Amino acid sequence: MSVATITRPRLSQIRSWLAKIPDPEIPVISLIDLGIIRDVAWRGDTLEVTVTPTYSGCPATGVINLEIERTLIEHGIEKLELKRQLSPAWTTAWISAEGREKLTAYGIAPPQEGTAACAGALKPLNVSCPQCGSVKTERISQFGSTPCKAHYRCTECLEPFDYFKSI
């Protein structure tokens, strides 16, 4: 089989395909928005996609890998290798500006910038309510509906909401 004649889609094209794959648990943001696609590169006729997990035990990881494979195969990629990269460990600082906006619009408060290096959730954070915008919010629990979220409540409009916690 001749490898030289295979047309290799441009990496920017591949990234745009990946940018259409939604996160399985928060479908408004894509894998690119989430910042978990660490690299896309051709090695000969094999496409290597490097993915980093969000949380060690996040059950979405397996689904994400399946979705990447399915999407790229649909676009004609024949040889694909998914690589797992643990270091540098994923941080919410890698969520794109667009991703943060999409989270807010969806009703999830985006992670506070500059707090990624520490757990620090016991310290008061000025998390804005994604419903009414008030900063009068309080934490109910630092663990929420998925590993990446905490439970908050707005004391102004009284709505409970998810906060995408910094890691």
Partner 1 sequence: MGVTSAAIAEFATRMGDNCLILGHRDSEWCGHSPALEEDIALANTALDHVGQAQLWLGLACEIEGRGKTADTLAFLRDASGYRNLLLVEQPNGDFGRTIMRQFLFDAWHLPMLKALINSSDKRIAEIAEKASKEVAYHLERSTDLVVRLGDGTRESQARMQTALDFLWPYTGEMFLGDALDDELEAAGIAPAPASLRPAWDQHVGRTLAEATLKAPDKSYAQKGGKRGVHSEHLGFILAEMQFLQRAYPGAKW
Could you list the residues that contact partner 1 (CB under 8 A)? 53, 55-59, 86-91, 118-122, 140-145, 147, 151, 165, 167
Of 16 and 141, nearer to partner 1 (C-beta) is 141
Instruction: Report in angstroms how near the CB of residue 69 gets to partner 1 at its nearest.
Output: 18
Instruction: Report in angstroms how near the CB of residue 45 gets to partner 1 at its nearest.
Output: 27
Q: Quick one: which of 52, 68, 84 has its CA closest to 167? A: 52
Of 2 and 56, nearer to partner 1 (C-beta) is 56
Q: Quick one: which of 86, 6, 18 has its CA closest to 43? A: 6
Q: Quick one: which of 18, 92, 82, 81 has its CA closest to 55? A: 92
Of 57 and 76, nearer to partner 1 (C-beta) is 57
Torsion over CA: 73, 14, 37, 85 (sign): positive
